[in-house]
Homo-oligomer: A and B are copies of this chain.
Amino acid sequence: MELNFRSDNESPAAPAIMAALQRANEGCAWAYAEDQWSERLDSAFSALFETRTTVLPVSTGTVANSIALATVTPPWGSVFCHRNAHILNDESGAPEFFGNGLRLVPIDGPDGKFTADDLGVAVRATAGHGIHSYQPAAVSLTQSTESGTVYRPDEIAAIAAAAEEPGMVRHMDGARFGNAVAALGCHPADITWRAGVQLLSFGASKNGCLAAEALLIFDDRVAADTAERLRKRSGHLLSKMRYVSAQLLAYLEQDLWLDMAGHANAQATRFAQAVDRHPEASLTYTVEANEVFVRWSPAGFRRLEAAGIQFLTWPGRDDLARFVFSHCTTPAETEALCNAFAEAGAG
Protein backbone atom coordinates (compact mmCIF):
# COMPACT_ATOMS: atom_id res chain seq x y z
CA MET A 1 0.00 0.00 0.00
CA GLU A 2 1.19 3.47 -0.91
CA LEU A 3 -0.60 6.44 0.56
CA ASN A 4 0.34 9.85 -0.78
CA PHE A 5 0.21 12.85 1.53
CA ARG A 6 3.08 14.63 -0.16
CA SER A 7 1.18 17.43 -1.84
CA ASP A 8 -2.22 18.37 -3.17
CA ASN A 9 -0.34 19.19 -6.35
CA GLU A 10 -0.09 15.47 -6.93
CA SER A 11 -3.81 14.77 -6.76
CA PRO A 12 -5.84 14.01 -9.89
CA ALA A 13 -8.69 16.19 -11.09
CA ALA A 14 -12.23 15.78 -9.81
CA PRO A 15 -14.74 13.96 -12.01
CA ALA A 16 -16.93 17.03 -12.35
CA ILE A 17 -13.99 18.97 -13.72
CA MET A 18 -13.16 16.26 -16.25
CA ALA A 19 -16.78 16.18 -17.32
CA ALA A 20 -16.74 19.92 -17.87
CA LEU A 21 -13.65 19.61 -20.03
CA GLN A 22 -15.41 17.01 -22.11
CA ARG A 23 -18.46 19.23 -22.52
CA ALA A 24 -16.29 22.15 -23.59
CA ASN A 25 -14.82 20.04 -26.34
CA GLU A 26 -17.76 20.43 -28.68
CA GLY A 27 -17.25 22.26 -31.94
CA CYS A 28 -15.21 25.35 -32.63
CA ALA A 29 -14.70 28.22 -30.27
CA TRP A 30 -13.02 31.58 -30.63
CA ALA A 31 -9.40 31.56 -29.61
CA TYR A 32 -7.42 33.61 -27.11
CA ALA A 33 -9.99 33.80 -24.33
CA GLU A 34 -12.75 35.19 -26.52
CA ASP A 35 -14.74 31.98 -26.21
CA GLN A 36 -18.07 31.73 -24.40
CA TRP A 37 -16.57 30.02 -21.34
CA SER A 38 -13.89 32.64 -20.80
CA GLU A 39 -16.37 35.42 -21.37
CA ARG A 40 -18.57 34.15 -18.55
CA LEU A 41 -15.79 34.28 -15.97
CA ASP A 42 -16.18 37.92 -15.02
CA SER A 43 -19.81 37.50 -14.18
CA ALA A 44 -19.34 34.15 -12.43
CA PHE A 45 -16.63 35.49 -10.13
CA SER A 46 -18.39 38.82 -9.68
CA ALA A 47 -21.42 36.89 -8.42
CA LEU A 48 -19.33 34.76 -6.10
CA PHE A 49 -17.45 37.70 -4.64
CA GLU A 50 -20.38 40.10 -4.70
CA THR A 51 -18.37 42.83 -6.38
CA ARG A 52 -17.29 43.67 -9.90
CA THR A 53 -14.36 41.40 -10.62
CA THR A 54 -12.08 41.23 -13.64
CA VAL A 55 -10.80 37.72 -14.27
CA LEU A 56 -7.74 36.48 -16.13
CA PRO A 57 -7.69 32.71 -16.42
CA VAL A 58 -4.18 31.24 -16.40
CA SER A 59 -2.52 27.86 -15.99
CA THR A 60 -0.38 28.23 -12.86
CA GLY A 61 -0.33 29.98 -9.55
CA THR A 62 3.16 31.24 -10.25
CA VAL A 63 2.00 33.20 -13.26
CA ALA A 64 -1.07 34.51 -11.46
CA ASN A 65 1.14 35.79 -8.64
CA SER A 66 3.76 37.19 -10.97
CA ILE A 67 1.33 39.04 -13.19
CA ALA A 68 -0.46 40.43 -10.15
CA LEU A 69 2.71 41.75 -8.56
CA ALA A 70 4.27 43.04 -11.78
CA THR A 71 1.07 44.88 -12.64
CA VAL A 72 1.13 46.95 -9.48
CA THR A 73 4.85 47.23 -8.76
CA PRO A 74 7.41 49.23 -10.73
CA PRO A 75 10.83 47.63 -11.29
CA TRP A 76 12.10 49.80 -8.43
CA GLY A 77 9.26 48.76 -6.14
CA SER A 78 9.38 46.28 -3.29
CA VAL A 79 6.84 43.63 -2.36
CA PHE A 80 6.56 42.54 1.25
CA CYS A 81 5.73 38.93 2.03
CA HIS A 82 6.28 36.28 4.67
CA ARG A 83 9.68 34.63 4.74
CA ASN A 84 8.05 31.30 3.89
CA ALA A 85 6.06 32.67 0.97
CA HIS A 86 5.87 30.66 -2.23
CA ILE A 87 6.64 33.76 -4.28
CA LEU A 88 9.90 34.10 -2.37
CA ASN A 89 11.04 30.50 -2.12
CA ASP A 90 9.43 28.41 -4.79
CA GLU A 91 9.09 30.38 -7.98
CA SER A 92 12.74 30.74 -8.97
CA GLY A 93 12.31 34.46 -9.28
CA ALA A 94 9.22 34.58 -11.46
CA PRO A 95 7.99 37.77 -9.76
CA GLU A 96 11.37 39.37 -10.34
CA PHE A 97 11.29 38.26 -13.98
CA PHE A 98 7.81 39.57 -14.69
CA GLY A 99 8.55 42.68 -12.64
CA ASN A 100 11.87 43.44 -14.33
CA GLY A 101 13.85 43.35 -11.12
CA LEU A 102 11.29 44.26 -8.48
CA ARG A 103 12.37 43.13 -5.03
CA LEU A 104 10.69 40.81 -2.54
CA VAL A 105 11.28 41.70 1.11
CA PRO A 106 10.75 38.84 3.57
CA ILE A 107 9.01 39.39 6.90
CA ASP A 108 9.41 36.93 9.75
CA GLY A 109 6.48 35.86 11.88
CA PRO A 110 5.17 32.82 13.72
CA ASP A 111 2.74 30.33 12.17
CA GLY A 112 3.47 31.52 8.65
CA LYS A 113 1.83 34.86 9.35
CA PHE A 114 2.91 38.42 9.95
CA THR A 115 1.08 41.37 11.42
CA ALA A 116 0.41 44.93 10.43
CA ASP A 117 3.10 46.00 12.89
CA ASP A 118 5.61 43.60 11.37
CA LEU A 119 4.86 45.11 7.99
CA GLY A 120 5.44 48.62 9.29
CA VAL A 121 8.81 47.67 10.73
CA ALA A 122 9.89 46.03 7.48
CA VAL A 123 8.82 48.99 5.38
CA ARG A 124 10.68 51.45 7.57
CA ALA A 125 13.79 49.28 7.58
CA THR A 126 14.06 49.13 3.81
CA ALA A 127 12.76 52.44 2.53
CA GLY A 128 13.32 56.06 3.39
CA HIS A 129 16.41 56.82 1.35
CA GLY A 130 14.52 58.38 -1.55
CA ILE A 131 15.60 57.40 -5.01
CA HIS A 132 18.38 55.23 -3.61
CA SER A 133 15.95 52.82 -1.93
CA TYR A 134 13.35 50.54 -3.38
CA GLN A 135 9.91 52.08 -3.10
CA PRO A 136 7.37 50.08 -1.05
CA ALA A 137 4.77 49.06 -3.61
CA ALA A 138 2.82 46.01 -2.52
CA VAL A 139 2.17 43.44 0.15
CA SER A 140 1.37 39.81 -0.59
CA LEU A 141 -0.41 37.52 1.87
CA THR A 142 -0.75 33.78 1.42
CA GLN A 143 -4.13 32.39 2.37
CA SER A 144 -4.12 29.68 3.66
CA THR A 145 -0.49 30.16 4.63
CA GLU A 146 2.47 27.95 3.84
CA SER A 147 2.20 26.72 7.43
CA GLY A 148 -1.38 25.54 7.05
CA THR A 149 -2.78 28.39 9.11
CA VAL A 150 -5.23 31.10 8.04
CA TYR A 151 -5.40 34.84 8.41
CA ARG A 152 -8.65 36.01 10.01
CA PRO A 153 -10.57 38.83 8.32
CA ASP A 154 -9.55 41.38 10.94
CA GLU A 155 -5.87 40.44 10.63
CA ILE A 156 -6.06 40.95 6.88
CA ALA A 157 -7.89 44.24 7.24
CA ALA A 158 -5.25 45.51 9.64
CA ILE A 159 -2.41 44.59 7.30
CA ALA A 160 -4.25 46.07 4.33
CA ALA A 161 -4.84 49.32 6.20
CA ALA A 162 -1.18 49.52 7.17
CA ALA A 163 -0.24 48.93 3.54
CA GLU A 164 -2.73 51.36 2.10
CA GLU A 165 -1.51 54.29 4.15
CA PRO A 166 1.83 54.56 2.30
CA GLY A 167 0.11 53.66 -0.97
CA MET A 168 0.95 49.98 -1.21
CA VAL A 169 -1.25 47.57 -3.14
CA ARG A 170 -2.62 44.43 -1.44
CA HIS A 171 -2.35 41.04 -3.10
CA MET A 172 -3.37 37.63 -1.84
CA ASP A 173 -1.80 34.40 -2.99
CA GLY A 174 -4.80 32.12 -2.73
CA ALA A 175 -3.23 28.91 -3.99
CA ARG A 176 -5.30 27.30 -1.22
CA PHE A 177 -7.95 29.98 -1.00
CA GLY A 178 -10.77 27.44 -0.81
CA ASN A 179 -9.19 25.82 2.22
CA ALA A 180 -9.02 29.18 3.95
CA VAL A 181 -12.65 30.05 3.25
CA ALA A 182 -13.74 26.60 4.36
CA ALA A 183 -11.70 26.93 7.52
CA LEU A 184 -13.03 30.35 8.41
CA GLY A 185 -16.62 29.70 7.40
CA CYS A 186 -16.72 33.24 6.10
CA HIS A 187 -17.80 34.76 2.83
CA PRO A 188 -14.95 34.89 0.27
CA ALA A 189 -15.38 38.65 0.16
CA ASP A 190 -14.65 38.92 3.87
CA ILE A 191 -11.01 37.97 3.44
CA THR A 192 -10.48 39.74 0.14
CA TRP A 193 -11.92 43.01 -1.11
CA ARG A 194 -13.95 43.76 2.00
CA ALA A 195 -10.71 43.49 3.97
CA GLY A 196 -8.80 45.67 1.51
CA VAL A 197 -7.31 43.05 -0.84
CA GLN A 198 -7.21 44.30 -4.43
CA LEU A 199 -5.87 41.30 -6.33
CA LEU A 200 -6.30 37.59 -5.66
CA SER A 201 -4.55 34.61 -7.18
CA PHE A 202 -7.49 32.25 -6.94
CA GLY A 203 -6.15 28.70 -6.91
CA ALA A 204 -7.95 25.71 -8.36
CA SER A 205 -5.30 23.28 -9.59
CA LYS A 206 -4.45 21.94 -6.12
CA ASN A 207 -8.10 21.51 -5.25
CA GLY A 208 -9.59 19.41 -8.03
CA CYS A 209 -8.66 21.00 -11.34
CA LEU A 210 -6.04 19.94 -13.89
CA ALA A 211 -4.37 23.27 -14.50
CA ALA A 212 -6.54 26.26 -13.81
CA GLU A 213 -6.03 29.39 -11.77
CA ALA A 214 -7.62 32.78 -11.98
CA LEU A 215 -6.16 36.18 -11.37
CA LEU A 216 -8.97 38.27 -9.90
CA ILE A 217 -8.87 42.05 -9.85
CA PHE A 218 -11.33 43.69 -7.47
CA ASP A 219 -10.14 47.26 -7.82
CA ASP A 220 -10.73 49.24 -11.00
CA ARG A 221 -7.61 51.28 -10.37
CA VAL A 222 -5.46 48.23 -11.02
CA ALA A 223 -4.38 48.27 -14.68
CA ALA A 224 -6.07 45.18 -16.05
CA ASP A 225 -4.72 45.92 -19.51
CA THR A 226 -1.19 45.74 -18.15
CA ALA A 227 -2.03 42.38 -16.61
CA GLU A 228 -3.33 41.18 -19.96
CA ARG A 229 -0.18 42.31 -21.73
CA LEU A 230 1.96 40.47 -19.19
CA ARG A 231 -0.11 37.32 -19.69
CA LYS A 232 0.31 37.57 -23.43
CA ARG A 233 4.02 38.38 -23.38
CA SER A 234 4.75 35.51 -21.01
CA GLY A 235 3.07 33.03 -23.34
CA HIS A 236 0.12 32.45 -21.04
CA LEU A 237 -2.70 33.55 -23.31
CA LEU A 238 -3.70 30.05 -24.43
CA SER A 239 -5.21 29.85 -27.88
CA LYS A 240 -7.68 27.31 -26.56
CA MET A 241 -8.38 29.05 -23.28
CA ARG A 242 -11.85 27.54 -23.18
CA TYR A 243 -10.39 24.46 -21.52
CA VAL A 244 -9.07 26.47 -18.60
CA SER A 245 -12.18 28.56 -18.27
CA ALA A 246 -14.46 25.54 -18.42
CA GLN A 247 -12.59 24.08 -15.45
CA LEU A 248 -13.04 27.28 -13.50
CA LEU A 249 -16.75 27.55 -14.23
CA ALA A 250 -17.35 23.96 -13.15
CA TYR A 251 -15.21 24.55 -10.09
CA LEU A 252 -17.44 27.39 -8.93
CA GLU A 253 -20.68 25.64 -9.72
CA GLN A 254 -22.76 24.66 -6.69
CA ASP A 255 -19.83 25.48 -4.42
CA LEU A 256 -17.81 22.53 -5.62
CA TRP A 257 -14.60 24.41 -4.78
CA LEU A 258 -15.72 24.95 -1.21
CA ASP A 259 -16.97 21.44 -0.68
CA MET A 260 -13.75 19.90 -1.92
CA ALA A 261 -11.64 22.24 0.20
CA GLY A 262 -13.78 21.56 3.25
CA HIS A 263 -13.38 17.86 2.71
CA ALA A 264 -9.61 18.19 2.57
CA ASN A 265 -9.59 20.32 5.71
CA ALA A 266 -11.66 17.74 7.57
CA GLN A 267 -9.14 15.03 6.75
CA ALA A 268 -6.32 17.23 8.01
CA THR A 269 -8.18 17.92 11.23
CA ARG A 270 -8.65 14.25 11.80
CA PHE A 271 -4.96 13.55 11.38
CA ALA A 272 -4.10 16.51 13.59
CA GLN A 273 -6.08 14.89 16.35
CA ALA A 274 -4.07 11.71 15.86
CA VAL A 275 -0.85 13.68 16.17
CA ASP A 276 -2.12 15.36 19.30
CA ARG A 277 -2.78 11.97 20.84
CA HIS A 278 0.65 10.70 19.90
CA PRO A 279 3.09 10.24 22.78
CA GLU A 280 6.15 11.57 20.93
CA ALA A 281 5.16 13.61 17.91
CA SER A 282 3.68 17.10 18.02
CA LEU A 283 2.10 19.65 15.73
CA THR A 284 4.41 22.40 14.54
CA TYR A 285 1.61 24.81 13.76
CA THR A 286 -2.07 25.02 14.56
CA VAL A 287 -3.87 23.00 11.89
CA GLU A 288 -6.46 25.24 10.28
CA ALA A 289 -6.56 24.18 6.66
CA ASN A 290 -5.43 21.08 4.75
CA GLU A 291 -1.78 20.84 5.77
CA VAL A 292 -0.32 19.24 8.88
CA PHE A 293 3.26 19.89 9.94
CA VAL A 294 4.61 17.34 12.40
CA ARG A 295 7.69 17.40 14.60
CA TRP A 296 8.94 13.94 15.48
CA SER A 297 12.03 11.81 15.74
CA PRO A 298 13.82 10.90 12.52
CA ALA A 299 13.46 7.25 13.44
CA GLY A 300 9.72 7.68 13.81
CA PHE A 301 9.39 9.23 10.37
CA ARG A 302 11.43 6.42 8.89
CA ARG A 303 9.11 3.85 10.38
CA LEU A 304 6.15 5.67 8.91
CA GLU A 305 7.76 5.67 5.49
CA ALA A 306 8.43 1.98 5.83
CA ALA A 307 4.71 1.53 6.35
CA GLY A 308 4.07 2.98 2.89
CA ILE A 309 3.12 6.50 3.89
CA GLN A 310 4.42 9.28 1.63
CA PHE A 311 4.97 12.76 2.99
CA LEU A 312 7.28 15.70 2.50
CA THR A 313 10.54 16.34 4.33
CA TRP A 314 13.20 18.99 3.80
CA PRO A 315 16.90 18.59 3.19
CA GLY A 316 18.75 18.93 6.48
CA ARG A 317 15.57 18.82 8.57
CA ASP A 318 14.89 15.21 9.51
CA ASP A 319 12.63 16.02 12.47
CA LEU A 320 9.94 17.81 10.50
CA ALA A 321 7.44 16.56 7.95
CA ARG A 322 4.44 17.87 6.06
CA PHE A 323 1.24 15.95 5.33
CA VAL A 324 -1.21 17.43 2.84
CA PHE A 325 -4.80 16.36 2.36
CA SER A 326 -6.72 16.94 -0.83
CA HIS A 327 -10.18 16.82 -2.33
CA CYS A 328 -9.64 13.16 -3.15
CA THR A 329 -8.14 11.92 0.09
CA THR A 330 -10.68 9.36 1.27
CA PRO A 331 -11.64 8.99 4.92
CA ALA A 332 -10.30 5.44 4.65
CA GLU A 333 -6.93 6.77 3.59
CA THR A 334 -6.88 9.22 6.45
CA GLU A 335 -7.83 6.44 8.80
CA ALA A 336 -5.02 4.30 7.42
CA LEU A 337 -2.58 7.14 7.98
CA CYS A 338 -3.74 7.65 11.55
CA ASN A 339 -3.38 3.97 12.26
CA ALA A 340 0.06 3.73 10.67
CA PHE A 341 1.10 6.79 12.65
CA ALA A 342 -0.08 5.33 15.91
CA GLU A 343 1.62 2.02 15.21
CA ALA A 344 4.88 3.66 14.15
CA GLY A 345 4.80 5.62 17.37
CA ALA A 346 4.80 2.46 19.33
CA GLY A 347 8.25 1.54 18.05
Contacts and interface: CB of A to CB of B under 8 A. Distances in A.
Interface string A204-239: 011000110000000000000010110011111111
A223 B281 CA distance: 45
Interface residues of A, number: 73
Instruction: Classify the interface of chain A: helix, strand, loop or mixed.
Output: loop
B12 A26 contact: yes
Interface string A130-165: 011110000000000000000000000000000000
Given A7-B31, A12-B27, A205-B240, 4 more contacts: A59-B59, A59-B235, A89-B133, A94-B235
Interface stretch (A97-105, A176-184, A270-278): A97-105
A188 interface: no
Contacts of A30: 10
A228 B92 CA distance: 11
B94 A234 contact: yes
A316 interface: yes
Interface stretch (A17-25, A47-55, A286-294, A335-343): A17-25
Contact of A232 (B94, B205, B239, B316): B94
25 contacts: A4-B28, A9-B32, A9-B240, A13-B25, A18-B21, A21-B210, A32-B131, A32-B132, A59-B236, A60-B235, A62-B232, A74-B229, A75-B233, A76-B93, A89-B132, A92-B132, A92-B133, A92-B229, A92-B232, A93-B101, A93-B134, A94-B232, A96-B101, A205-B239, A206-B239
A66 interface: yes
A205 B228 CA distance: 21
Interface of A: 4, 6-7, 9-13, 18, 21-22, 25-32, 58-64, 66, 74-76, 89-94, 96-97, 99-104, 124, 126, 128-129, 131-134, 205-206, 210-211, 226, 228-229, 232-240, 243-244, 314-316
A6 B34 CA distance: 14
A60 B128 contact: no
B13 A97 contact: no
B29 A10 contact: yes
Given A89-B133, A232-B132, A103 B96 contact: yes
Contacts of A9: 31-32, 239-240
A128 B28 contact: no
A132 B314 CA distance: 13
Nearest to A210: B243
Nearest to A228: B131
Given A91-B132, A124-B316, A232-B92, A243 B10 contact: no
Given A235-B63, A235-B236, A243 B211 contact: yes
Contacts of A124: 316
Nearest to A11: B28
Q: Across the A-B interface, give the 9 residue pairs with the lowest CB-CB distance, nearest first.
A: A63-B235, A96-B101, A62-B235, A9-B239, A9-B31, A4-B28, A10-B28, A92-B232, A97-B233
Given A13-B25, A26-B12, A316-B128, A233 B93 contact: yes
B18 A22 contact: yes
